[in-house]
């Protein structure tokens, strides 16, 4: 393979810079010299929108944040497991990665504590239970995979684009992963992408594994829940500038003059620029005048989002004993982890996490059905646990009204082709969000892309 050290991150940073150059060439200088008077509408109060608004506010711009839901945070969604319970669970993003420098920096700035949230995995595979340390991949595959991770850093751009045209499952098979190794990798890796790895670009997967922290960015959680960061952002932006229950329905952008944004509640806002941080499903529901270019619409139509179901279950004791307990299974409740690590209490929450088709099945059933599946699966390790269940929540991102998924999933041939199209601005609208980021699928990515677009404006 030819050597070229352009990483996934560098590629995206470079393409973002190119987008920025295009934007600057299409905008009059006068609009930049009166920054104080410029008003920017930010569509969406997830981490991309809030981080963009925070940066703009710091620079002295007028900011109007329009959010469809009745809460801030978007796909970061911390909530008590039951009304008045001190135990907080995450229905959206869970882990802050050790390599995620910007979110760690912001937590420092805002005085938020990051707690260790690393786990060591047990496994249930083919009706056998293995505690952590008692299962592993074959030595042969370990050697091969470590070499693959190392070689990735020598890949040329051409190598990477070739890799992108293959799915991750096929890549593993072609590189000698088979039998038990393949089945376990498929179980584990598909939890990262939220759909079977047969749908994931081999480039997106390998770049993630080769460039991530040893625990694959499953390192920390913000004390009190990840939504604490959304609240800190909102205080810095000024709550009066954030309008909840304001779903944008129409964006009118004349070639000259102000943009007008209409909301479903009849309110209308005017501004000079827009930063749109909506997931692509929500972008497609907005009426754009003039309309989005056909290539942009085709890119939206191509991109899928992962179906993840989160089912946190409250138990009256922490029978799993280890605070850092998690477990991968080949059963219907695919993956369990201790969701109340670092929260002192006699009760505790195990979160049952499912992806893809399994997630859709689990989401469609009753609490009773889910409890039975969980009981039958955990019995293998702990004996019957059904009587210990005190309650549960369930959130299926596959039917979330605005995203219809947890995060974007770049499939075969999409990373280098689809993402650059989705990053293109539309008249005075700049697009941001997790799906357009270098750290795609992470809070870090959402923040990076929000701040990057705030710089461009």
419 token code pair:
């993402």
Cα–Cα distance, 157 to 10 (Å, whole number): 11
Q: Which is nearer to ligand FAD, 242 or 381 (CB)?
A: 242
Cα–Cα distance, 432 to 444 (Å, whole number): 12
Q: Does 350 bind ligand FAD (CB under 6 A)?
A: no
- Alpha-carbon dihedral sign for residues 413, 417, 161, 445: negative
Q: Does 446 bind ligand FAD (CB under 6 A)?
A: yes
- Please state at what angle helix 47-58 crosses helix 443-456, rounded to 10 degrees: 40
Q: Does 423 bind ligand FAD (CB under 6 A)?
A: no
* String of DSSP letters for 156-223: -HHHHHHHHTSBHHHHHHHTT--HHHHHHHHHHHHHHHSS-GGGSBHHHHHHHHHHS-TTTT--EEET
Residues 89-118 that bind ligand FAD (CB under 6 A): 92-95
Residues 16, 41, 74, 185: which binds ligand FAD (CB under 6 A)?
Answer: 74
- Please state at what angle helix 294-302 crosses helix 415-422, rounded to 10 degrees: 130
Q: Does 168 bind ligand FAD (CB under 6 A)?
A: no
- Please give the backbone phi and psi of residue 215, each rounded to the nearest 5 degrees, phi first: -90, 20
Q: Does 310 bind ligand FAD (CB under 6 A)?
A: yes
Identify which range of 13-21, 29-37, 61-69, 111-119 contacts ligand FAD by CB under 6 A.
Answer: 61-69
259 token code pair:
């943009």
Residues 42, 68, 229, 234: which binds ligand FAD (CB under 6 A)?
Answer: 68
Q: Is the bond preceding residue 272 a cis peptide, omega within 30 degrees?
A: no
CB of 443 to ligand FAD, least distance (A): 4
Q: Does 57 bind ligand FAD (CB under 6 A)?
A: no
Cα–Cα distance, 413 to 163 (Å, whole number): 8
398 token code pair:
């596959």
CB of 16 to ligand FAD, least distance (A): 15
Residues 41, 63, 76, 204: which binds ligand FAD (CB under 6 A)?
Answer: 76
407 token code pair:
């995060």
Q: Which is nearer to ligand FAD, 192 or 375 (CB)?
A: 192
Identify which range of 33-41, 151-159, 383-391, 444-452 contacts ligand FAD by CB under 6 A.
Answer: 444-452
Residues 248, 303, 327, 418: which binds ligand FAD (CB under 6 A)?
Answer: 248
CB of 294 to ligand FAD, least distance (A): 21
Q: Does 300 bind ligand FAD (CB under 6 A)?
A: no
Q: Does 242 bind ligand FAD (CB under 6 A)?
A: no
CB 259 within 8 A of CB 270: yes
Burial of 310 (0-12, 13-18, 19+ CB in 10 A): buried
Q: Does 204 bind ligand FAD (CB under 6 A)?
A: no
CB of 43 to ligand FAD, least distance (A): 5
Identify which range of 9-17, 110-118, 136-144, 433-441 contacts ligand FAD by CB under 6 A.
Answer: 433-441
Q: Does 278 bind ligand FAD (CB under 6 A)?
A: yes
Residues 206, 308, 350, 359: which binds ligand FAD (CB under 6 A)?
Answer: 308
Neighbour count for residue 32 (Cβ, 10 Å): 11
303 token code pair:
């991109």
Q: Does 338 bind ligand FAD (CB under 6 A)?
A: no
Cα–Cα distance, 433 to 447 (Å, whole number): 8
Token pair 């995450």 in the structure block, residue: 90
CB of 34 to ligand FAD, least distance (A): 27
Q: Does 220 bind ligand FAD (CB under 6 A)?
A: no
Enumerate binding residues for ligand FAD (CB under 6 A): 43-49, 66-69, 74-76, 92-95, 247-248, 277-279, 282, 286, 308, 310, 397, 402-403, 406-407, 433-434, 441-446
């Amino acid at each position: 393979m030819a050597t070229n050290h352009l990483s996934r991150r560098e590629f995206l940073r470079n393409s973002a810079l190119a987008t920025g150059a295009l934007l600057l060439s299409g905008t009059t200088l006068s609009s930049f010299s009166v920054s104080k008077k410029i008003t920017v509408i930010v569509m969406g109060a997830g981490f991309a929108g809030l981080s963009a608004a925070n940066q703009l506010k710091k620079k002295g711009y007028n900011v109007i944040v329009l959010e469809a839901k009745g809460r801030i945070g978007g796909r970061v969604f911390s909530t008590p497991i039951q009304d008045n319970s001190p135990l907080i669970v995450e229905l959206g993003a869970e882990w802050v990665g050790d390599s995620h420098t910007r979110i760690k920096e912001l937590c420092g700035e805002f005085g938020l504590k990051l707690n260790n949230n690393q786990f060591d995995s047990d496994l249930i595979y083919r009706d056998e239970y293995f505690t952590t340390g008692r299962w592993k991949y074959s030595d042969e595959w370990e050697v091969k995979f470590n070499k693959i991770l190392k070689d990735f850093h020598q890949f040329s751009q051409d190598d990477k684009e070739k890799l992108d045209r293959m799915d991750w499952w096929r890549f593993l098979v072609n590189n000698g992963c088979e039998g038990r190794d393949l089945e376990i990798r498929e179980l584990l890796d598909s939890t990262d992408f939220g759909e079977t790895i047969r749908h994931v670009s081999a480039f997106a997967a390998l770049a993630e594994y080769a460039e991530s922290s040893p625990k694959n960015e499953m390192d920390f959680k913000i004390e009190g829940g990840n939504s604490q960061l959304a609240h800190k952002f909102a205080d810095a932006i000024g709550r009066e500038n954030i309008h909840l229950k304001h779903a944008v329905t129409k964006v009118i952008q004349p070639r000259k003059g102000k943009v007008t944004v209409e909301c479903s509640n009849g309110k209308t806002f005017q501004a000079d620029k827009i930063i749109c941080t909506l997931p692509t499903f929500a972008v497609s529901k907005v009426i754009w005048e003039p309309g989005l270019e056909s290539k942009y619409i085709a890119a939206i139509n191509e991109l899928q989002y992962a179906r993840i179901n989160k089912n946190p279950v409250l138990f009256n004791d922490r029978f799993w004993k280890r605070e850092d307990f998690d477990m991968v299974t080949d059963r219907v409740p695919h993956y369990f982890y201790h969701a109340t690590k670092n929260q002192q209490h006699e009760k505790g929450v195990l979160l049952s996490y499912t992806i893809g088709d399994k997630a859709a099945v689990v989401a469609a059933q009753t609490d009773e059905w889910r409890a039975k599946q969980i009981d039958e699966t955990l019995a293998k390790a702990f004996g019957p646990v059904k009587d210990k269940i005190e309650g549960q929540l369930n959130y299926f991102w596959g039917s979330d009204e605005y995203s219809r998924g947890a995060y974007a999933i770049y499939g075969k041939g999409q990373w280098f082709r689809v993402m650059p199209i989705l990053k293109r601005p539309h008249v005075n609208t700049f697009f941001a969000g997790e799906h357009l980021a270098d750290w795609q699928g992470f809070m870090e990515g959402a923040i990076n892309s929000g701040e990057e677009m705030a710089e461009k404006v």
